[in-house]
Amino acid sequence: MNPYDETAPAPEERIVGAAAEGDDQAVEAALRPKDLGEFIGQEKVRQQLDLVLRAARQRGATADHVLLSGAPGLGKTTLSMIIAAEMNAPIRITSGPAIQHAGDLAAILSSLQEGEILFLDEIHRMSRPAEEMLYMAMEDFRVDVIVGKGPGATAIPLDLPPFTLVGATTRAGLLPPPLRDRFGFTAHMEFYGPRELERVVVRSAGLLDVEIDPAGAAEIAGRSRGTPRIANRLLRRVRDYAQVKADGVVTREIAATALGVYEVDGRGLDRLDRAVLEALLKLFGGGPVGLSTLAVAVGEERETVEEVAEPFLVREGLLARTPRGRVATPAAWAHLGLVPPQVAGPVPGADQAGSGQQGLFGS
């Protein structure tokens, strides 16, 4: 869950009870901001969304449909709840994988209230029949419910109350153009910078009643991979370490030591990231090596390496994707303190590999 996914207590309030005692889900819920003013980062998106919502309120109309895209943990679910709060409307939450039939979507749409916010997470994973039904619902606020089967089937039109669809996706490129074009406002969520993440950490520490100095906040922010969700998760683990092993105050030294215990290094690489890099460098001389071969070497599924580890390693400039396979960059050798081969000789099996990643290091 995103640290900004629901409403948060006022800044002067503190989290107590089960949340303060370590219930991670309750803590995450308590850390979420309740309006655009509390939401940290994503300045352009916040300004644009504020205009959209203010204009809708002034007209007394339902807000346009909103599409939010970006990596997990950046605040898409949060903004959907903030939209509901700003429009003073209820919110219904579902996800694309949960809607596998047009009837599933029809049941949800037919029960919406006027002005209600429908948040559809991972919208790109919705089934095609449901997707096609959504076209008409978004544009005309109407759906055709099919009764019966075969030649005797009848389409019964069902009018819907005006509503706002907020779609969230981590893979906007998979959305078909007809669906994407029906959103009145689209926004892409960017990764956070260190200063913004420091503000996130300081705000969350205040709500958790954790004493933290600026250097400690900076240390956590620097290892958070540009993602508020990760920053809050690391803060909670550092808090645990400071409580058990120190005097409860989070300093740079305490944060660095605690995150070392949890195998998060200075650049935010975790156990899987380092395993991928070590296998690439030590077993395959820096590559190129096929993804499947690399996954086997670290004992993980191909999809796990590709979707969990690779995006961050590529973004950090530690790994590159090439037509022949994955290749380590000079920065990867330096980060692990290893010396790259002096002369890049021919890759074993390269004469059989060609451009299709076959041979010894093939996919």
Q: Was 32 annotated as part of a binding site?
A: yes
Residue from 101, 5, 83 nearest 46 by CA: 83
Active site residue: 169, 170, 227, 329, which one?
Answer: 170
Active site residue: 76, 223, 274, 324, which one?
Answer: 76
Across the chain, the runs of DSSP E, i.e. the strands, are: 66-69, 91-95, 117-121, 142-147, 154-159, 164-169, 185-188, 319-322, 325-328
Q: Was 31 annotated as part of a binding site?
A: yes
Q: Was 77 annotated as part of a binding site?
A: yes
**What's the distance, Cα to Cα, between the start and end of the chain in Å?**
33
> At which residue do the structure tokens 């409403």 appear?
7
Q: How far apart are CA 196 and CA 180, in angstroms?
A: 30
Q: Was 73 annotated as part of a binding site?
A: yes
Q: How far apart are CA 258 and CA 362, in angstroms?
A: 39
Q: Is 122 strand, coil or helix? A: coil
Active site residue: 77, 164, 169, 293, which one?
Answer: 77
Decide if 273 is catalytic.
no
Q: Would you give the DSSP letter of residue 360? A: T
Q: Was 304 annotated as part of a binding site?
A: no
Q: Was 315 annotated as part of a binding site?
A: no
The first and second tokens of residue 59, run together, are 């007209």
Active site residue: 5, 34, 121, 273, which one?
Answer: 121
Q: Was 135 annotated as part of a binding site?
A: no
Q: Was 321 annotated as part of a binding site?
A: yes
Q: How far apart are CA 46 and CA 37, in angstroms?
A: 9
Decide if 164 is catalytic.
no
Phi, psi torsion values for 79, nearest 5 degrees? -65, -35
Q: Was 179 annotated as part of a binding site?
A: no
Active site residue: 229, 239, 274, 324, which one?
Answer: 229
Decide if 229 is catalytic.
yes
Question: 144: how many CB neighbours lie within 10 A of its CB?
Answer: 15
Q: Was 7 annotated as part of a binding site?
A: no
**Which residues, 6 or more positions from 218, have their beta carbon under 8 angstroms from its beta carbon?**
194, 198, 252
Decide if 121 is catalytic.
yes
Q: Was 140 annotated as part of a binding site?
A: yes
Residue from 197, 352, 196, 186 nearest 268 by CA: 197
CB 155 within 8 A of CB 144: yes
Q: What is the DSSP string of 160-211?
A: ----EEEEEES-GGGS-HHHHTT-SEEEEPPPPPHHHHHHHHHHHHHHTT--
Q: Was 236 annotated as part of a binding site?
A: no
Phi, psi torsion values for 150, nearest 5 degrees? 70, -155
Q: Was 76 annotated as part of a binding site?
A: yes
Decide if 76 is catalytic.
yes
CB 216 within 8 A of CB 251: yes
Residue from 43, 44, 78 nearest 196 by CA: 43
Binding residues for ATP: 31-32, 73, 76-78, 139-141, 182, 192, 229
Binding residues for DNA: 302, 321, 326
Binding residues for Mg(2+): 77
Catalytic residue positions, numbered: 76-77, 121, 170, 229
Binding residues: 31-32, 73, 76-78, 139-141, 182, 192, 229, 302, 321, 326
